[in-house]
Amino acid sequence: MQRSAPEPARDIAAQLQAVLDPRSAKDAVFIAPGSPEPPSAGLHRVERDDGVLLTSNPVKAKVFDELPELTDETMALLLDYPESKSEVLREGGIPVVVQGVAPSGGIAFEAAASERWLQHTIEAARLAVPDGDVRLTTLEDALAKRQR
């Protein structure tokens, strides 16, 4: 698995709020090394060298804890992405990044999508951020915004 870029505090907070929102389908937040970590808010917290997982789902906590190596496919399953980063790249073409933006402006859902899975990824973003907006951007723009 490629190391994830750190995320701003506002985005981590938006993700945590989505997990805590009973209307949201989102049940896990991955916190990459270098990202600010909020209090776990009663969620399962699992830490490993790759990062921290906060989740309301005990099965996801166990999987994250016990797998010897995390892969892009495993992370896609844990974070409810329709396809993994590696699958997006194998599809070819120019990937799109789908973002579910919370009313606070923080990005609560962010996943790369191939053309074939774009509509499924948009729907996953809507389900994760029921009161938010869905926005499409490029991989380059998404990464640049994380570094600000």
* pLDDT tens digit sequence for 25-65: 999 999 999 999 888 889 999 999 999 999 999 999 999 99
pLDDT bucket at 139, cuts 50 / 70 / 90:
confident
pLDDT bucket at 14, cuts 50 / 70 / 90:
very high
Sheet holding 28-31, edge to edge: 28-31, 51-55, 44-48
Residue 147 has pLDDT above 70, yes or no: no
Report the SS3 class of residue 101: strand
Residue 5 has pLDDT above 90, yes or no: no
Nearest of 100, 84, 79 to residue 2 by alpha carbon: 84
Distances (CA, A) of 2 to 39, 69, 84, 101: 26, 12, 11, 24
pLDDT bucket at 91, cuts 50 / 70 / 90:
confident
Tokens of 24: 């949201």
Task: Report pLDDT for 148.
Answer: 61
- The residue-averaged pLDDT of 115-134 equals 96
Nearest of 110, 113, 118, 117 to residue 5 by alpha carbon: 110
